[in-house]
């Protein structure tokens, strides 16, 4: 990327949860000479005393912060304005909110440097051009939507290649719009949507979509693509477009176990060891690392979609049968969260077989 971030010699991070830990990973890898003085939080309840030796401190206990230090706000965006006001009251001036754009910048810089270190190719779709030939192929990105989605605050114009499809349509008679595609037609698992999330749409497009190039996005999350992305993909013989991977702390496996029911992860590992013994060494390696492909988003050739889903859904079904129903609605979506890790594993196992490139994604408020 042309734009790069250069950190100050010493910085603070406001926040001590997943966003803050991800930012720590980015900064320590990209700017190893930078010292993170502390994580700052509103109060210590529910927070660790330190993270990898870096203290976590309440804002009220920060008496004389260095005004020349960068202060990153690594929380949900809805809190940024109020946090900025309180930091300024404390005398902090170099305040940097981690917006979607800033997060994309740091993620790309991290992945580029990491892949270079690992001698892996990191090619962005936007950096490729159409070759001197005309190409055509049927393509569609299916955009999962639900009756439970909150209204968008801003305006988003859905491009022609994105096809809205109602997820969990079997659970309600309400339709988002007349003639909208639904995931409850024909062979489907729509009734599992409360647990499987957008996987009910993934299952439907696996069984029913006819296009040569097939993608999955969400009503708030879309790939950032050039207008001629189909021509670029075909002319460069690209098999798969994945979102730029994101960093999780402390690694993929431990991050899942800290945020969800750890027994489901332990079952998953036993299942993979028993049913995919040839890939199990790779499985343990991938899940001990920090980068994964988020949001169950992709664009890929039909055959690869079939191969991925044929492998993925038996594992998800086994995990769901083991884990059962959780009382907490968020934790009950664990099959959807597990699938993000499994899709990462699938493409790491097969990365030498497929021509994979990457694209940024946005988040629409």
Q: What pLDDT, in 10s, does the model give residues 106-154?
A: 999 999 999 999 999 999 999 999 987 767 789 999 999 999 998 887 7
Tokens matching residue 236: 């460069």
Residues 6 or more apart in contact with residue 310 via CB below 8 angstroms:
none
Q: Does residue 53 carry a pLDDT above 50?
A: yes
CA dihedral 251→252→255→260, nearest 10 degrees, is -160
Between 193 and 4, the higher pLDDT residue: 193
Percent of the chain residues topping a pLDDT of 90 = 88
Averaging pLDDT over each range in 4-18, 126-140, 241-255, which range is the top one? Answer: 241-255
- 3-state SS class at 305: helix
pLDDT for residue 157: 82
Percent of the chain residues topping a pLDDT of 70 = 97
Q: What is the rounded distance in angstroms from the CA atom of residue 196 to the CA atom of residue 112? A: 32
Q: Does residue 289 carry a pLDDT above 90?
A: yes
| Residue 302: Cβ within 10 Å count | 17
Domains of the chain and any CATH numbers: 10-117 (3.40.50.720), 125-359 (3.90.550)
Q: What is the rounded distance in angstroms from the CA atom of residue 188 to the CA atom of residue 60? A: 53
pLDDT for residue 2: 45
pLDDT for residue 5: 63
Q: What is the rounded distance in angstroms from the CA atom of residue 225 to the CA atom of residue 234? A: 14
Q: Does residue 3 carry a pLDDT above 70?
A: no
Element (H, E) at 57: strand 54-58
Q: Does residue 18 carry a pLDDT above 90?
A: yes
Taking a C-beta distance cutoff of 8 angstroms, is the pair 242, 298 a contact? yes
Tokens matching residue 254: 């431990």
């Amino acid at each position: 990327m042309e734009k790069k971030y250069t950190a100050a010699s010493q910085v603070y991070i406001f926040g001590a949860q997943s966003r803050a830990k991800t930012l720590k990973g980015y900064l320590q890898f990209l700017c190893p000479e930078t010292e993170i003085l502390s994580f700052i939080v509103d109060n210590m309840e529910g927070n660790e005393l330190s993270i990898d030796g870096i203290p976590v401190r309440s804002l009220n206990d920060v008496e004389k912060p260095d005004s020349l230090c960068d202060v990153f706000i690594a929380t949900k965006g809805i809190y940024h304005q109020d946090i900025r006001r309180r930091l300024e009251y404390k005398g902090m001036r170099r305040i940097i909110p981690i917006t979607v754009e800033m997060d994309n910048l740091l993620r790309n810089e991290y992945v580029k440097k990491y892949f270079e270190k690992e001698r892996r190719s990191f090619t962005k779709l936007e950096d490729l051009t159409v070759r001197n030939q005309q190409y055509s192929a049927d393509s569609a990105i299916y955009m999962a939507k639900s009756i439970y989605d909150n209204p968008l605050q801003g305006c988003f114009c859905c491009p022609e290649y994105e096809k809205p499809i109602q997820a969990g349509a079997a659970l309600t008679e309400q339709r988002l719009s007349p003639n909208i595609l639904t995931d409850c037609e024909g062979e489907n698992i729509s009734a599992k949507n409360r647990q499987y999330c957008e996987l009910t749409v993934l299952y439907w497009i696996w069984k029913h979509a006819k296009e040569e190039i097939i993608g999955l996005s969400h009503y708030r999350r879309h790939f950032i693509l050039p207008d001629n992305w189909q021509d670029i993909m075909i002319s460069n013989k690209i098999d798969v477009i994945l979102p730029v991977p994101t960093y999780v702390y402390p690694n993929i496996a431990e991050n899942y176990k800290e945020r969800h029911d750890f027994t489901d992860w332990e079952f998953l590992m036993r299942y993979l060891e028993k049913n995919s013994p040839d890939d199990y060494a790779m499985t343990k390696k991938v899940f001990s690392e920090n980068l994964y492909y988020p949001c169950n988003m992709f664009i890929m050739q039909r055959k690869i979609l079939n191969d991925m889903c044929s492998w993925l859904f038996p594992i998800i079904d086994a995990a769901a049968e083991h884990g059962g129903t959780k009382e907490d609605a968020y934790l009950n979506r664990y099959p959807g969260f597990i699938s993000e890790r499994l899709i990462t594993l699938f493409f790491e196992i097969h990365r030498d077989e497929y021509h994979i490139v990457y694209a940024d994604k946005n988040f629409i408020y």
